[in-house]
Amino acid sequence: MTNRTNSWRAGLQRGGIELRHLLRNGKEMSGHLTNVVVALLVAAYIDDDVPGTRTPMDHLILAGFAAYLLFQIGLISLPQILVTEREEGALLRLRATPGGIPAYLVAKCLLVVVVAVGTLALLLFAGALVVDGPLPHGPGAWLTLAWVTTLGLLAVVPLGAAIGAVLPNPREALALIMLPTMGLLLTSGVVFPITALPVPVQHVAAVFPLKWMAQGLRSALLPDSARTAEAAGSWELPMVALVLTAWAALGFLLAVPLLRRAARRESGSRLSARHRKAAQSGALPA
Amino acid sequence: MTTFGRTDVQPVIQVRDLTMAYGDVDVLRGVDLDIHRGEVFALLGPNGAGKTTTVEILEGFRQRSGGEVSVLATDPERGGDAWRARIGLVLQSWRDHRRWRVAELLRHFATYYPDPRDPGELLALVGLTDQAGKQVDRLSGGQRRRLDVALGIVGRPELLFLDEPTTGFDPQARHEFHVLVELLARDEGVTVLLTTHDLAEAERLAHRIAMLVGGRIRACGTPAELARRAAAQAEVRWTADDGTPRRERSEDPSQLVWELHRHAAGPIAGLEVRRPTLEDTYLHMVHREADGTDGADGTDRDSDEQAPAA
């Protein structure tokens, strides 16, 4: 029992320190901020309305970017952090430390949630101030924003952790994740109405969480009249909840054993072997 | 050395007939070890001899194929957090927590342990007080390793694993590190299991040394015992009257030197007596394994029929 509380305390402390390091790290911060700036620039240059509605197109785009930010933090940033820290030996050090692995997970959750919510808030408030972007109207819409964000993170964070547990190394990791993510960004109706895409593409995109995260956020951020531009002509909120919950369940089912396996497999010799390999691939030009 | 031979206390590390096989490959073929409290024990052996596997089984990072292993009276495969808290680890391949500041990292890891050392005192102990506010990234190689040592002992471990701890140290840093390890073992009764390729380091630090070759302990004892056992003959070198360098092996170098002096009736140019060194013993053991022949000393438990690890 005391061990468990100590892991929580150590994990929260760890997450706080990592957040501070992130805020101080100009390069990484500018990476997160670039996304926000790009979204705002795109929104500022687009004047059209969403076809068939009187909702400005930039509102749809900002809602889509908001979903993509959450998606990206769970499925790109998190796996990269996990793979990098595994390779550097942080995971092994925590494995050799009493209560270290639970503390590590607590810290990572804290980090991901704060970064995700922080970036989302920044995007929405900066959007509202600078380009007259959308904000939820009324308590019901705020509630929708809250649950879609929460479920969205639950759908992508465990999945990202599972991916981070199996990817070989940070160099290959980025390449392996980027391509499918970009594909989903273009096919999920994030930055333009999904109805502009061929129906088979819409069906494929509907399997993955990004489309539903974007749709859920649109329902929170856009006026109700904008739902005519949706593929189904409505927000399909029950479906949003169902698909995201399914992905969350799948993510947890995969993440728990895969993370356990990744931690169990860490040892000094595996670490050295990876470092040797990294040094070789760095020494030999590709 | 006699204090380590006590039989009334259970050894900190006790290994009986430890075997490990990866598929068809036998990496460990029956390792026995007893390491006692406060002892600095060095495990030597060529790459691929099974050193790393042995140590990782003891650290609880690998499942063994067979045999009995007890570390701090616990089977490492079932060691929980309370057991982990009594063990410290210093590995050579750590380059983690680069963004953290030195003191911040040490303070954080102190929170995991029930009775941690004071981070400030620990920094002083490893000579990093001036680097306390520095980012881990910016430390030199030797400083980074000393930080690893500090992290390894922050929880006051009873048992410390050191894996090639001084690789990349300059002679001064190496000396300071040796003094620190001796201090931990002598004053705090920390048991240290050291794996190294540096024979001089093993000789300097270790109370006892085991040589692991081909998945078995080929020799185990104090550095002096080992040196005596393998290459019992000392080498005497001198320069003959005609200026040619001469060398001769002898069981009794003193006798040989005395005879040389009597013969020459005066000083002898370039006279040198080389006692068998740990390196001689080591090379002897490794070559014997590679040749597939047994040693003359008969200390092995069996004459091996296995193919040598060419």
pLDDT, tens digit, 9 for 90 and up, residues B53-85: 899 999 998 889 999 999 999 999 998 899 999
Asked if B229 contacts B221 with a C-beta cutoff of 8 angstroms, the reply is yes
Which residues on adjacent β-strands are paired with residue B216? B213
pLDDT grade for B34, boundaries at 50, 70 and 90 = very high
Q: What is the pLDDT of residue B108?
A: 96
Residue A37 has pLDDT above 60, yes or no: yes
Q: What is the pLDDT of residue B73?
A: 93
Is A164 touching B (CB cutoff 8 A)?
no
Q: What is the pLDDT of residue A259?
A: 87
Strand pairing report for B208-213 and B13-22: unpaired
With beta carbons under 8 A apart, name residues in chain A contacting B99. 21, 25
Half-sphere CA count of B139, side-chain side, radius 13 A: 28
How close B111 gets to chain A, by Cα (Å)? 6
State which amino acid sits at residue B301: R
Q: Give the lowest-confidence range in A117-131, A266-280, B186-200.
A: A266-280
Joined together, the tokens standing for residue A249 give 């369940």
Q: Which residue of B has its CA nearest to A99?
A: B81
pLDDT grade for B8, boundaries at 50, 70 and 90 = low
Residue A111 has pLDDT above 50, yes or no: yes
Asked if A210 contacts A190 with a C-beta cutoff of 8 angstroms, the reply is yes
Residue B161 has pLDDT above 50, yes or no: yes
Joined together, the tokens standing for residue B309 give 């690890």
Q: What is the pLDDT of residue B300?
A: 38
How close A157 gets to chain B, by Cα (Å)? 22
Asked if A70 contacts A120 with a C-beta cutoff of 8 angstroms, the reply is yes
pLDDT, tens digit, 9 for 90 and up, residues A209-259: 999 999 999 999 998 888 888 888 889 999 999 999 999 999 999 998 998
Number of residues assigned to chain B? 310
Helix crossing, A138-166 with A209-221: angle to 10°?
160
State which amino acid sits at residue A170: P
Question: Chain centroid to CA A19: how far?
Answer: 16
Query: What is the DSSP-derived secondary structure letter of residue A50?
Result: P
What is the arithmetic mean of pLDDT over B137-148? 88
Q: What is the pLDDT of residue B295?
A: 40
Q: What is the pLDDT of residue B304?
A: 36
Asked if A201 contacts A222 with a C-beta cutoff of 8 angstroms, the reply is no
With beta carbons under 8 A apart, name residues in chain A contacting B100. 17, 21
What is the arithmetic mean of pLDDT over A154-160? 94
pTM: 0.83
Q: What is the pLDDT of residue B307?
A: 36
Name, in order, each residue with C-beta under 8 angstroms of A38's C-beta and a sequence gap of 6 or more.
Answer: A65
Asked if A194 contacts A185 with a C-beta cutoff of 8 angstroms, the reply is no
Asked if B219 contacts B226 with a C-beta cutoff of 8 angstroms, the reply is yes
Q: What is the pLDDT of residue B177?
A: 86
With beta carbons under 8 A apart, name residues in chain A contacting B22. none
Q: What is the pLDDT of residue B305?
A: 35
ipTM of the complex: 0.85
The DSSP element (H or E) to which A30 belongs, if any, is helix A26-45
Look over chain A and give the mean of its residue pLDDT values, rounded to a whole number.
Answer: 88
Look over chain B and give the mean of its residue pLDDT values, rounded to a whole number.
Answer: 84
pLDDT, tens digit, 9 for 90 and up, residues B84-114: 999 999 987 788 999 999 999 999 999 999 9
Q: What is the pLDDT of residue B110?
A: 95
Residue A105 has pLDDT above 60, yes or no: yes
Residue A93 has pLDDT above 80, yes or no: yes
Q: What is the pLDDT of residue B52?
A: 87
With beta carbons under 8 A apart, name residues in chain A contacting B96. 85, 88-90, 92-93
Interchain CB contacts (distance < 8 Å): A and B: 81
pLDDT grade for A282, boundaries at 50, 70 and 90 = low
CB contact under 8 A, B112 and A88: no
The percentage of residues in chain A with a pLDDT greater than 70, rounded to a whole number, is 97
State which amino acid sits at residue B176: E
The residue ranking higher by pLDDT, B45 or B208, is B208
> Vertex A73, ends A68 and A76: CA angle to 5°?
95
CB contact under 8 A, A96 and B82: no
Phi-psi region of A208 (alpha: psi -120 to 50; beta: other; left: phi over 0): beta
Task: Give, in order, the Cα–Cα distances in Å from A23 to each of A83, A107, A114, A272, B255.
Answer: 21, 15, 12, 31, 75
Listed residue (B41, B115, B43, B35) closest to B73, CA to CA: B35
With beta carbons under 8 A apart, name residues in chain A contacting B92. 268, 272
DSSP string, chain B: -GGGG-SSS--SEEEEEEEEEETTEEEEEEEEEEE-TT-EEEEE--TTSSHHHHHHHHTTSS--SEEEEEETTB-GGG--HHHHTTEEEE-TT----TTSBHHHHHHHHHTTSSSPPPHHHHHHHTT-GGGTTSBGGGS-HHHHHHHHHHHHHTT--SEEEEESTTTT--HHHHHHHHHHHHHHHHHH--EEEEE-S-HHHHHHH-SEEEEEETTEEEEEE-HHHHHHHH---EEEEEE-TTS-EEEEEES-HHHHHHHHHHHHTS--TT-EEEPPPHHHHHHHHHHHHHHTPPPSS--SSS---SPP--
What is the arithmetic mean of pLDDT over A181-201? 87
CB contact under 8 A, A272 and B93: yes
Sheet strands side by side (includes B191-195):
B87-90, B159-163, B191-195, B40-44, B208-213, B216-221
pLDDT grade for B170, boundaries at 50, 70 and 90 = confident
Binding-face residues of B in 78-117 toward A, CB within 8 A: 81-82, 84-85, 87, 89, 91-100, 104, 108-109, 111-113
With beta carbons under 8 A apart, name residues in chain B contacting A272. 92-93
CB contact under 8 A, B61 and A268: yes
Phi-psi region of A160 (alpha: psi -120 to 50; beta: other; left: phi over 0): alpha
Residue A207 has pLDDT above 60, yes or no: yes
With beta carbons under 8 A apart, name residues in chain B contacting A103. 112
Q: What is the pLDDT of residue B290?
A: 67
Asked if B214 contacts B290 with a C-beta cutoff of 8 angstroms, the reply is no
What is the arithmetic mean of pLDDT over B285-292? 70
Residue B11's φ and ψ, nearest 5 degrees, are -60, 155
Q: Give the lowest-confidence range in A159-163, A189-193, B245-249, B276-280.
A: B276-280
CB contact under 8 A, B95 and A89: yes
With beta carbons under 8 A apart, name residues in chain A contacting B111. 6, 9-10, 13
Collapsed DSSP state (helix, strand, coil) of residue A169: coil
The residue ranking higher by pLDDT, B154 or B242, is B154
CB contact under 8 A, B111 and A3: no
What is the arithmetic mean of pLDDT over A249-274? 84
d(CA B233, CA A240) in angstroms, rounded, equals 83
